[in-house]
Structure 1
Amino acid sequence: MICYDGEGHPPGYNPSWKQDPDVLDTWFSSALWPFSTLGWPSQTEDLKTFYPTSTLITGHDILFFWVARMIMMGEYVMGSVPFQESFLHGLIYGKSYWREGQAGVHYVGKGEKRTYDLGETLPQDVYSKWEKMSKSKGNVIDPLELIEEYGTDAVRFALASSVTYARQIDLDLRRFEEYKNFANKIWNGARFVLMNLEEESLEPGIDRSLLQLEDKWILSVLNRTIREIHESFERYAFDRAAAKAYEFFWDDFCSIYVELTKPILFGKAGDRHVRANKERLLVIVLLSAIRLMHPISPFITEEIFSLVKKKFPHAKQGTCDPYTEEAIKALSQDACIVSSYPVVIAEGDIDEKIEASFSLMLELVRHVRNIRAEMKIPLHEKTELYIVSESNAAQMVQVNQTILTTLTPTRAIHFVGKEPIFFGASAIIGTLKLMTPIPETL
């Protein structure tokens, strides 16, 4: 084959040469991609190592144009398919805005578009629609601009959370704002934990005799979250994996568990043994959480990992509990990226009864907050609670009442068998009746 684009005949022209009248479409060379990039037709080491590969990730729109042709060409040339699985994701759509006039359709400028993207109400003369990205429509999303404004980790998390099985991905700028806030939450949550540590060693590990309901709950939820994220990745459900990591870190770890440790960290409850145990748990859960998020959000998690390593430079594996051993093993690596990805540490700690009991405590917290909001009780003013019941649930709440007093501005909790008589508000949660008297100041 001779390729020549000059005038006249190519050098060394022979009259017997004929131009091939056939034309190959652009996808022909693309079909060769899995092996031609590895040195084929030579039997290179790269070809032996990387052909066939495991997974192809691409858009659904080129299933026949590219994916099917690579498979057929691989079978024909190499004798085997180039990949075992193919994950087809949706196409990213941008939102376009336009005005209609006598001269036709006029798309709005970049600045005006941004205000609408971030939630400003559209004027009556402006129309909008999610469409394939087009420069002429002004709805092209530049990833470099997104990274500059929101940060790489936030962009990666937003994109991962958008990868559903839908054929169309409507990429809303507000999603990047949300995950920028989440990146700040990751940093602030980790910073709070590390700033409030007195312990300089993870040994001798967790003392299970000191575990309270919230400790057993966070270990149960941690193990369950690890399992669910693994299952999500195996199904290529990247949106579910991102959502599980997000919910665990923000809701379960920061908003609930860290808040419940504050009385102990601030010296208002517990002794030094309880505090040391809580600190180890905080570090272990934090370390697992950032490693779970690392494939999606690598930079901030790598930085936090390095800070934890500096905090515990002499951590050595020994005969500690499985959680501490797993944490120390991770910290023995030079970086988060080369540490092992978290696996379920203790299947037996996934306890539905523990989670149900803790969920009841959180329901009580939610109702107390709702009652206070309805009665417009100031945040600084503490109230008294009455729990009317003689059930086993009431006994469980009584044993774990510090959860209520920590997460709500509550002065005291009274457990009674009969309803007291006073002006106030109430709520029924299962077999429990929660009652709050109106403060005298109202």
Structure 2
Amino acid sequence: MLVTGFDIIFFWVARMIMMTLKFTGEVPFKTVYVHGLVRDGQGQKMSKSKGNVLDPIDLIDGITLDELLEKRTGNMMQPKQAKAIAKATRDEFKDGIEAHGTDALRFTFLSQATTGRDIKFDMNRLEGYRNFCNKLWNASRYVLMNAEGEDCGTSGEEVELSLADRWIISQLQKTEAQVTKAMDEYRFDHASQALYEFVWNEYCDWYLELSKPVLWDENASAEAKRGTRRTLVRVLETTLRLAHPMMPYITEEIWQRVAPLSGAYMGKDASIMHQAWPETDESKVDHQASLDIEWLKGVIIAVRNIRAEMNISPGKLLDVLLTKGRPEDAERLESNRHFLSKLAKLESVTWLENPNDAPLSATQLVGDMEVLVPMADLIDKDAELARLNKEIEKQDKLIGGIEKNSGTTVLSPKLP
């Protein structure tokens, strides 16, 4: 396969084919992947004369401002532009360019490789994907901390999978299918996005947190802890294989420590490069687990939103009431009380059969169900009324200013 920009299809690609056919009678490559041009942050084509070229080595290893200025303004064909280029460089890179690493740069380009579009290079995207690499690294540290030297079920011992275990295994199957399909279709932007969402939003943000109530519970069974450790390790090991074509260095480094815990063969010179590509196992897709986890996440997010809106300390244990839901909501509460109590930091969580019995509470909706946090003893009533009155006065002033400037009332139907 040949990878090339569209601007040299005739000048380079077509001539390579014609010359090779002429002298060898064979086509030099069967597949040509054509990508867009990499432009600067303003959409301008990069060129030395404009002084807007970004050297990939500088993005990987970093460069000081003085070195960058020397690189952009030294030996110019049009020295008169040096002053303007130096000013633009100082404005854009006040402290030079930090090191971001090869994997972050590769992932950035892959994420922007949209069909039919040039790449408008954005340093903020590069920094974001460096954070993604750090997120994967820190998640691996958590897994190793809880799995190394522990029983991870590699010898076939009995395991008990929690709801969270079944859910993340199911989500992994979906991600494997999405990434594989995208890679087969050369939609590297879709592949990187699917991997990013799984690693950051599902594995790190939720599953790692859901694993703690099992691993750190002294009353949890050995089978349950073994099942969670095995899931932590195996899902991470599979994710590393999915990510390896996009981020080869960090995945190889982590895999060397994670693979033995997952039961992978670790012969001489074993490398993630030689491992099989992950394949989806439809039998592991658990739709019910996905529905149950979405319900669980909804309740936890609702409680967190109430905390933020009512200025309740994140560490304060709350009493929570659930009401007006469906019968399966009450069943889910009983099955997931432990997860809710730990992740939402609850003193108690109770199903309220009669909504009319609810005390004065802050409320959030999760589908048809109401999540109630009773406000007694949580807030100062007089202070809260004063805060609300102050907010009303502030909004009234804003409305008055709009009415004064427009010459009409805010609620006038004449306004567009």
Q: Same fold (TM over 0.5)?
A: yes
CA positional deviation for 1:73:
4.1
The answer to whether the Cα contact below 8 Å between 2:162 and 2:224 also exists between their aligned partners in 1 is: no
Partner of 1:203: 154
1:306 is aligned with what amino acid?
Answer: Q
The answer to whether the Cα contact below 8 Å between 2:179 and 2:190 also exists between their aligned partners in 1 is: yes
Distance (Å, rounded) in 1 between the aligned partners of 2:263 and 2:283: 21
The answer to whether the Cα contact below 8 Å between 1:383 and 1:439 also exists between their aligned partners in 2 is: no
Partner of 1:38: none
The answer to whether the Cα contact below 8 Å between 2:105 and 2:126 also exists between their aligned partners in 1 is: yes
Tell me which of 120, 130, 136 is aligned to 1:170.
Answer: 120
CA positional deviation for 1:439:
4.9
2:2 is equivalent to residue 66 of structure 1: no
Unaligned stretches of 5+ residues in structure 2: 62-98, 380-416
CA positional deviation for 1:74:
4.3
Partner of 1:141: 54
Tell me which of 346, 366, 387 is aligned to 1:429.
Answer: 366
Inter-CA distance 269–432: structure 2 relative to 1 (3 Å threshold): farther
Inter-CA distance 260–201: structure 2 relative to 1 (3 Å threshold): closer
Partner of 1:81: 27
Which aligned pairs between 1:287-326 and structure 2 lie closer than 5 A?
A: 287-309=237-259, 312=261
CA positional deviation for 1:135:
2.3
C-alpha offsets along residues 85-138 of structure 1, whole Å, 9 cap, x if unaligned? 22211110013xxxxxxxxxxxxxxxxxxxxxxxxxxxxxxxxx3200022333
Distance (Å, rounded) in 2 between the aligned partners of 1:348 and 1:86: 36
CA positional deviation for 1:307:
1.6
CA positional deviation for 1:394:
3.0
> What is the root-mean-square deviation in Å for CA atoms of aligned residues?
2.1
C-alpha offsets along residues 227-249 of structure 1, whole Å, 9 cap, x if unaligned? 11100100111111112222212
Distance (Å, rounded) in 2 between the aligned partners of 1:409 and 1:342: 37
Distance (Å, rounded) in 1 between the aligned partners of 2:376 and 2:60: 50
Inter-CA distance 135–76: structure 2 relative to 1 (3 Å threshold): closer
CA positional deviation for 1:69:
3.4
The answer to whether the Cα contact below 8 Å between 2:101 and 2:130 also exists between their aligned partners in 1 is: yes
Which aligned pairs between 1:323-402 and structure 2 lie closer than 5 A?
A: 327-329=262-264, 331=266, 334-344=270-280, 346-388=281-323, 389-402=325-338
Distance (Å, rounded) in 2 between the aligned partners of 1:308 and 1:131: 44
Distance (Å, rounded) in 2 between the aligned partners of 1:307 and 1:192: 13
Alignment: residue pair count: 338
Normalised TM-score (structure 2)? 0.76
The answer to whether the Cα contact below 8 Å between 1:390 and 1:417 also exists between their aligned partners in 2 is: no
Of residues 288-297 and 426-435 in structure 1, the stretch that sits farther from structure 2 once superposed is 426-435
The answer to whether the Cα contact below 8 Å between 2:213 and 2:339 also exists between their aligned partners in 1 is: no
CA positional deviation for 1:82:
3.0
Inter-CA distance 373–135: structure 2 relative to 1 (3 Å threshold): same
Distance (Å, rounded) in 1 between the aligned partners of 2:316 and 2:15: 70
Distance (Å, rounded) in 2 between the aligned partners of 1:236 and 1:207: 41
SS of corresponding position for 1:387 = strand
SS of corresponding position for 1:131 = coil
Partner of 1:44: none
Unaligned stretches of 5+ residues in structure 1: 1-54, 96-128, 313-326
1:204 is aligned with what amino acid?
Answer: S
Distance (Å, rounded) in 2 between the aligned partners of 1:169 and 1:269: 53
1:135 is aligned with what amino acid?
Answer: K
CA positional deviation for 1:170:
0.7
CA positional deviation for 1:181:
1.4
Of residues 243-252 and 264-273 in structure 1, the stretch that sits farther from structure 2 once superposed is 264-273
Tell me which of 339, 342, 357 is aligned to 1:406.
Answer: 342
Distance (Å, rounded) in 1 between the aligned partners of 2:157 and 2:25: 55
Partner of 1:190: 140
Distance (Å, rounded) in 2 between the aligned partners of 1:244 and 1:206: 33
The answer to whether the Cα contact below 8 Å between 2:107 and 2:192 also exists between their aligned partners in 1 is: yes
The answer to whether the Cα contact below 8 Å between 1:425 and 1:438 also exists between their aligned partners in 2 is: yes
Distance (Å, rounded) in 2 between the aligned partners of 1:206 and 1:370: 41
2:201 is equivalent to residue 251 of structure 1: yes
Distance (Å, rounded) in 1 between the aligned partners of 2:249 and 2:278: 18
Q: Normalized per residue, which structure has more strand?
A: 1
Inter-CA distance 85–277: structure 2 relative to 1 (3 Å threshold): same
Partner of 1:92: 38
CA positional deviation for 1:263:
2.3
1:83 is aligned with what amino acid?
Answer: F
Inter-CA distance 237–205: structure 2 relative to 1 (3 Å threshold): farther
Distance (Å, rounded) in 1 between the aligned partners of 2:353 and 2:114: 51
Partner of 1:227: 177
Of residues 427-436 and 223-232 in structure 1, the stretch that sits farther from structure 2 once superposed is 427-436
Distance (Å, rounded) in 1 between the aligned partners of 2:117 and 2:373: 51
The answer to whether the Cα contact below 8 Å between 1:394 and 1:432 also exists between their aligned partners in 2 is: no
Normalised TM-score (structure 1)? 0.71
Q: Normalized per residue, which structure has more helix?
A: 2
The answer to whether the Cα contact below 8 Å between 1:60 and 1:167 also exists between their aligned partners in 2 is: no
The answer to whether the Cα contact below 8 Å between 1:398 and 1:415 also exists between their aligned partners in 2 is: no
Partner of 2:383: none
Partner of 1:16: none
The answer to whether the Cα contact below 8 Å between 1:206 and 1:277 also exists between their aligned partners in 2 is: no
Of residues 74-83 and 217-226 in structure 1, the stretch that sits farther from structure 2 once superposed is 74-83
The answer to whether the Cα contact below 8 Å between 2:162 and 2:228 also exists between their aligned partners in 1 is: no
Partner of 1:18: none
1:394 is aligned with what amino acid?
Answer: A
2:227 is equivalent to residue 277 of structure 1: yes
Distance (Å, rounded) in 1 between the aligned partners of 2:164 and 2:153: 20
